[in-house]
Amino acid sequence: MATEQYYLALDLGAESGRAILGALERGKLEISEEHRFPTGPEYVPTMYPGDAPEKIGSDISLIWDFIRFWHEIKDGVCKAATKGNLKAIGVDTWGVDFALLDRSGGLISLPYHYRDNRSNGMTDEAFKRLGRKQIFDITGIQFLPLNTIFQLLSMVVYESPLLQIVDKFLMVPDLINYWLTGRAVAEFTEATTTQMLDAKTGKWSDQILSAMGFPKHIFPEIVPPGTVIGPIRESLEKELDLKAVVVAPASHDTGAAVSAVPAESEDYIWISSGTWSIVGMNTPEPVINEKSYSYNLTNEGGLNGTYRFSKNVMGLWIVQQCKNQWKKEGKEYSYTELTSLAEKSPSLKSFADPDFEEFLWPGNMVEKVKKYCQITDQPVPQSEGEVVRTVLEGLALKYRYVIEKLEEVSGKMTSVVHIVGGGTKNRLLNQFTADALGRKVIAGPIEATSTGNLIVQAIAMGDIKNWEEGVSVIRASFDIETFHPGDQDPWNKAYEEFINNFNKINQAF
């Protein structure tokens, strides 16, 4: 690695998209943000067919404006190209959302946002067609109402005319790869989030596709992370005046983030912290049994044939929505200010389970947090700091609950927790996590998703030998911070209360 090599990570998240340039030289990776743009959903008049709005109680659709995103992506590529010759480009995004193309390769509808209402009621409909347990036994994927299988099923149920003309189904990072190269494939880690893959074969499940009534011909070839998809298409090469190849990293952003965990052994839990908190461990095979089914755990694809045995936890989305609510009320805070207010608020007074169902959907999140405390007979937080502390302490306690279940089901005990991603900037949450778990927490890198994306590109192009060398590069390149647990007694007592509240909510709802 004597000569500097440039790679570009196109990292699209629920709040923003970035073009992150990576310069690899002498065993270190230097990264720089070349372009940033807002993502977020757009609210548009209904795009549902027939009487669907009446059935789901909404005449508003929640969509992603990928035409605008594409313009921003090209801007990001051009800005990065001015810094040096790009060797490769890699794309990662969130999971579960998809696009549909017609037989000429044209986009026939803007992709829906995973929080759109059209999937309401689709879990029950799916289980009528194929049993809940059967679906889990095939896929090993946790049940969330926003999963691709339920989104796509809504199109079948509501007889969407798009299904008459669709020729290709692409997950959203695969759509960008197609626009970049002209090659339509499905990257494995992203495809596993659909809940339509057979975990044993790594292929689309014929049984699920048939039972749901999905047209089988639309699902593309599945390729593993690290696949060189191809050079950018000729027309784009001329438009942008550059040459580069496109590599599929772990295209699911959690898969990319987990790729950047700087662990020195296999004795660890990882938490990808951001809008969502994904809590998990790496396993050589999917863990599919009665307990993983009953605890609604998941087995998503990872690097080198591994699986991410994990669970989605509603993460900093709740704080993001509270921040937006206060802004509407004329009180504009930065995340740093909100964290500072939380730090000054009373400890372990109230705590909210981040996976309370009402937290999943947009709305007045401040009132939802207060409502949770009311129905669980806890003191209701009043100030902004108290609300945020209620969320952060509840998040740390939920991490403990999930980790206990992961270890119980897998039989694998761990002693260290690695937190990666943008959420690591919240040092208060990192310390709460160490306190709640009674374990050492290692936080960083912050830019884990982009870093994992870039490292996989470099391995695919032969500039890094293998993943072991990639981890060494990460350790040499980024600051890592360690948090040690404090007094365990108050947190152990709080955890007992948290579990009581958890059981109370489950019985009530």
**How would you class 173 by CB atoms within 10 Å of its CB: exposed for 0-12, middle for 13-18, buried for 19 or more?**
buried
Q: How far apart are CA 366 and CA 380, in angstroms?
A: 11
Q: Does the pLDDT value for residue 473 go beyond 90?
A: yes
Helix locations, 268-360, DSSP H? 290-294, 317-328, 335-343
Categorise residue 9: left if φ over 0, alpha if ψ from -120 to 50, beta otherwise.
Answer: beta
CB 467 within 8 A of CB 304: yes
Q: How does pLDDT run across 400-448, given as a tens digit for each residue?
A: 999 999 999 999 999 899 999 989 999 999 999 999 999 999 999 999 9
pLDDT number for residue 361: 87
Eight-state DSSP code of residue 110: P
Give the three-state DSSP class for 256: helix
Q: Does the pLDDT value for residue 240 go beyond 60?
A: yes
Domains of the chain: 5-254 (3.30.420.40), 255-313+397-489 (3.30.420.40), 317-392+490-508 (3.30.420.40)
Give the three-state DSSP class for 156: helix
pLDDT number for residue 125: 98
Q: How far apart are CA 465 and CA 65, in angstroms?
A: 38
Q: Does the pLDDT value for residue 2 go beyond 70?
A: no
The average pLDDT across 384-389 equals 98
pTM score of the predicted model: 0.90
Q: How does pLDDT run across 186-211, given as a tens digit for each residue?
A: 999 999 999 999 999 999 999 999 99
Q: Does the pLDDT value for residue 351 go beyond 80?
A: yes
pLDDT number for residue 3: 53
**How would you class 399 by CB atoms within 10 Å of its CB: exposed for 0-12, middle for 13-18, buried for 19 or more?**
buried
For the stretch 125-147, what's the b/e string if a residue is b when 16 or more beta carbons lie within 10 angstroms of its beta carbon?
ebeeebeeeebbebbbbbbbbbb
Q: How does pLDDT run across 63-94, given as a tens digit for each residue?
A: 999 999 999 999 999 999 999 889 999 999 99
Least Cα distance to 170 among 111, 252, 104, 117 occurs for 111
Strands 86-92 vs 245-248: parallel, antiparallel or unpaired: parallel
CB 16 within 8 A of CB 37: yes
Catalytic residue among 11, 116, 174, 253: 253
Q: How far apart are CA 425 and CA 423, in angstroms?
A: 5
pLDDT number for residue 1: 37
Q: Is 253 a catalytic residue?
A: yes
- Determine the longest span between alpha carbons in the chain, in angstroms: 64
Please report which helix (H) or strand (E) contains residue 370, including its range. helix 365-375
CB 392 within 8 A of CB 432: yes
CB 56 within 8 A of CB 117: yes
